Structure 1
Amino acid sequence: MTRKRVHLAAHFPGVNNTTVWTDPRAGSQIDFASFAHLARTAERGGFDFFFLAEGLRLRELKGRIHDLDVVGRPESLTVLSALAAVTDRLGLAGTVNATFNEPYELARRLATLDHLSQGRAAWNVVTTSDAFTGENFRRGGFLDRADRYRRAAEFVRLSRELWDSWQPDAVVADPETGRFVREGGIGDVAHHGEHFSIEGRFTVPRSPQGHPVIIQAGDSDEGREFAASTADVIFSRHGTPADGRAFYSDVKRRLARYGRRPRELKIMPAATFALGDTEEEAAENAAAIRRQQVGPQTAIAFLEQVWGRDMSAYDPDGPFPDVEPDLSEDLSQGRVPFGDRAAVAAKWRALAQEKDLTIRELVIEVTGRQTFVGTPQSVARQIDEHVQAGAADGFILVPHLIPGGLDEFVERVVPVLRERGAVRTGYTGTTLREHLFDDESESEPS
């Protein structure tokens, strides 16, 4: 029986209401100092990588930009390239859309980041069929779910062809001059597929880790299959032990059909946390954070997304309204849909009635819960037990404050995890691929 090492990553949030921008301790979401602070904190904690999301269009509710969306977030790969200069070992992961980019151009940008960082680059591959977002692009949002995953799979395959086209250089003697020269390296790329047709040569030499680490976040059946065939890391949303174990087992089982072993894919759910000196204090802190994350405006906005009606006349801290949803209307654009809105509305109404919840209390109940709550010792234990039980390989932590929201975790929880032998005490490799898949990723229990 081997003991699994816990992998940790840090997410710089801002595309939803997880981040509390109204807190006096909150900083800028565009000042480079904010990105540098969080990245350096993660590196001090021995985290595998720093993760940036992407927002290609500001989300709207009832035709207006939602006030809690971040306006002015910089482009991810540009920020990560700058962070390569102020970090040494931390992986640098950026979300870049495979629907609205081209393989040759993006492969060059990612290979460049991998060179600048000496092998620490990662690409979180996402797709979209959202015509609202597509209005910002020539192509538009014309791809349905199946087509966008086929395009993404071909996009990644072609990117790897480009990255792999540079073979290791060989130093040989020129037969005419006798001087030693470099020979080989650049190779031709000829790709003719359903979505892309390229004939040419890649301009960037092979990067330190061969090619960037691939991250994927889809949860549909197509997304899970794409991850099993292609990804190195899954950014999962299954944070509870039961859901985590089911997802973990399902995806790991799919790897065999692609000739892959379970340890070749790391599953890392998003996770939040609230700490305290006692369990009671931690619970109080968690409740306070949830109320900050779900203010009155946000509570009404969530309700309107499901109900399809203007609910602004209702008191968010008053009784849950006795009004039927309008399923013909969708007041929100650019947000992840709730799926079967009729089923969601019925579930929310039943929960509100069962627990006698106000609108805001209900939205807190269904959207604002922290993953790990407790003292540093109990949070470290929860994280470690979650991984050892086969529910995850680690977690991508999403702090509620920027830039200092990760500080307390690194200062108080990481030392306990190290005492348990759950996380690394120092980096043993230089590339992100080594962080994730080195020989010390699993060790015998002490």
Structure 2
Amino acid sequence: MSKPLKQIHLAAHFPGVNNTTVWSDPAAGSQIEFSSFAHVARTAERAKFDFIFLAEGLRLREQGGEIYDLDVVGRPDTFTVLAALAAVTDRLGLAGTINSTFNEPYEVARQFASLDHLSGGRAAWNVVTSWDAFTGENFRRGGFLAQEDRYERARQFLDAARVLFASWRGDEIAADKESGVFLTDADAGRFAHRVAQFDIRGRFNVPRSPQGRPVIFQAGDSEEGREFAASSADAIFTRHGTLEAGRAFYADVKGRLAKYGRAADELKILPGVTYVLGGTDAEAQEKARAIRRMQVSGQTAVKFLEQLWNRDLSDHDPDGPLPAVDPLVGENLVAKGRASVRMFRDPLATAAEWRALAEAKKLTTRELIIEVTGRQTFIGSPETVAHALNEFVQTDASDGFILVPHLTPSGLDDFADTVVPLLQERGVFRTEYEGSTLREHLGLSPVDPARETAAVTASSTATVPTADTVTRTGRARA
């Protein structure tokens, strides 16, 4: 008996907080006008996508005091945009990236619970951390956390938010009435959570939302990120865009679920991918080359080079060879505050690889940077791209994709009109929505409040009022 075809999950990433956007294209539109957000969302919903995804930029990226030429000025607040999109869509999920390093659990939980209510159960939270003092300067606490510390804060932050989401226990009234000890309206939302990062207690004032809590996303490929996703997330946003790397990542993360008492289908793996479509494969390849040159200007190439070399290379010719000197290993001097050099675990080894690649292919600095930062994951005719997407999912390299177009707001249109119908013909993508909530779109089971509370309590000293901690007068015991 042949293996049943897996259904592909698709989502749309609104371009902006990334290095894929092409400002110089005549078709490029506004990044901040609501009409752009609405266009992308309506296109995604027309194509029956699972959700639209907003990244987060808490500070404009800069280096040497200069803003990156591909960054976005004036990015609107995530919750404001998603709430507005809830009013112009009916089924599309609404996913927002909200930082766990510079926010507080009560505020974030309240905002997401409200969004889930306003949208009828379509909210999702992408839990991320921030690791640099550069962004921290915008916040009172400032500074930055070491990687192991920021993931521990993220875990405790998410646990605290789950306590808040689970604190509205009205669904347990019937079960508690027999003992004469039951929850009354006066007990709704009572919570207590004491861990290293948070010591909070009070009342959550948003009733249980349609999904119970938002769908939880996590973005990160590090060891800490993989473990965090396996223990707590419903989906993981990854960067692995090749079959080999995708299969290895898929097997690794799915293999971690069992120790947390989770089944393989309880975590969806969704790489962020780019694409270029053309009438033929050759046409698409030529178009992709032109796009990459627009995405990586000479200035961008030098700035990226500085992140590895950890030196001021402002006088370097991007159309010439790589620098003759080696990267400076040690304290980050050029991208101060961002610690961008940390992206390269071994700068000297990476520089050697780049030099060998440049020499073998006779590449200039700019051409080399285009080569090593290439972002078009799928290039070809609609038929070619549809086949490649389906191969990824059917061979367990992913459960679907978060598509990152290079144009705003029209970049998703061709994909929706040409690739989606081909996937539908293959029987691997829906032709109509079967549910109304994002959890249903993703094929996730309903949230079980008791299981949520047990999972949090197992990893902390969190407590949520239940029948045995509530008196007949409805007061939670201290």
User: What TM-score, normalized by structure 2, do the two folds share?
Assistant: 0.87
Cα deviation code 1:386-408 (max 9, x no counterpart): 11011000010000001100100
1:334 aligns with 2:338: yes
For residues 408 and 38 of structure 1, what CA distance do their matches in structure 2 show? 12
Displacement of 1:310 = 2.6
Q: From the superposition, tell whether residues 183 and 15 of structure 1 become closer, same or farther in structure 2 (CA, over 3 Å).
A: closer
Cα deviation code 1:351-379 (max 9, x no counterpart): 11111101111011000241001110110
Name the counterpart of 1:178: none
Name the counterpart of 1:137: 139
For residues 22 and 413 of structure 1, what CA distance do their matches in structure 2 show? 26
For residues 137 and 28 of structure 2, what CA distance do their matches in structure 1 show? 32
Aligned match for 2:361, one of 352, 355, 372: 355
For residues 33 and 436 of structure 2, what CA distance do their matches in structure 1 show? 28
SS in 1 for 2:53: strand
Q: Structure 2: give runs of 5+ residues left out of the alignment.
A: 175-183, 446-478
Aligned match for 2:377, one of 359, 371, 375: 371
Aligned match for 2:395, one of 377, 389, 398: 389
Amino acid at match of 1:197: D
Name the counterpart of 1:412: 418
Name the counterpart of 2:77: 75
Cα deviation code 1:263-282 (max 9, x no counterpart): 00000001010111111111
Name the counterpart of 2:43: 41
Displacement of 1:438 = 5.6
Whether contact under 8 Å (1:169, 1:184) holds in the other structure is: no
SS in 2 for 1:365: helix
Whether contact under 8 Å (2:266, 2:444) holds in the other structure is: no
Name the counterpart of 1:7: 9
Answer with 21-30 or 95-104: which moved more. 21-30
Q: From the superposition, tell whether residues 292 and 263 of structure 1 become closer, same or farther in structure 2 (CA, over 3 Å).
A: same
Q: From the superposition, tell whether residues 225 and 184 of structure 1 become closer, same or farther in structure 2 (CA, over 3 Å).
A: same
For residues 321 and 441 of structure 2, what CA distance do their matches in structure 1 show? 50
Runs of 4+ in structure 1 over 4 Å off = 169-172, 182-185
SS in 2 for 1:304: helix
Whether contact under 8 Å (1:90, 1:432) holds in the other structure is: yes
Amino acid at match of 2:83: S
Q: From the superposition, tell whether residues 367 and 335 of structure 1 become closer, same or farther in structure 2 (CA, over 3 Å).
A: farther
How many pairs align? Answer: 430
Displacement of 1:185 = 6.8
Aligned match for 1:90, one of 84, 89, 92: 92
Amino acid at match of 2:281: E
1:104 aligns with 2:106: yes
Displacement of 1:317 = 2.2
Displacement of 1:409 = 0.4
For residues 13 and 122 of structure 2, what CA distance do their matches in structure 1 show? 16
Whether contact under 8 Å (2:221, 2:238) holds in the other structure is: yes
Displacement of 1:21 = 1.3
Q: From the superposition, tell whether residues 195 and 321 of structure 1 become closer, same or farther in structure 2 (CA, over 3 Å).
A: closer
SS in 1 for 2:343: coil
Calculate percent identity across the aligned residue pairs.
64
Whether contact under 8 Å (2:326, 2:348) holds in the other structure is: no
SS in 2 for 1:129: coil
Q: From the superposition, tell whether residues 207 and 356 of structure 1 become closer, same or farther in structure 2 (CA, over 3 Å).
A: same
Cα deviation code 1:309-350 (max 9, x no counterpart): 232323322333323223344322437542232222121111
SS in 1 for 2:114: helix
Q: How does 1:229-244 map to 2 (within 5 A)?
A: 229-244=231-246
Amino acid at match of 2:343: F
Whether contact under 8 Å (1:77, 1:94) holds in the other structure is: yes
Q: Structure 1: give runs of 5+ residues left out of the alignment.
A: 173-181, 440-446
Name the counterpart of 2:295: 293
Cα deviation code 1:44-95 (max 9, x no counterpart): 1111110001111112211222232111101111110110000110100000
For residues 198 and 117 of structure 2, what CA distance do their matches in structure 1 show? 26
Aligned match for 1:128, one of 110, 115, 130: 130
Answer with 395-404 or 297-306: which moved more. 297-306
Displacement of 1:167 = 2.3
Output the aligned Cα RMSD: 1.7
Cα deviation code 1:104-161 (max 9, x no counterpart): 1110001001011000000000012311211111222342111211111111111111
> Which one has the bigger strand percentage?
1
1:435 aligns with 2:441: yes
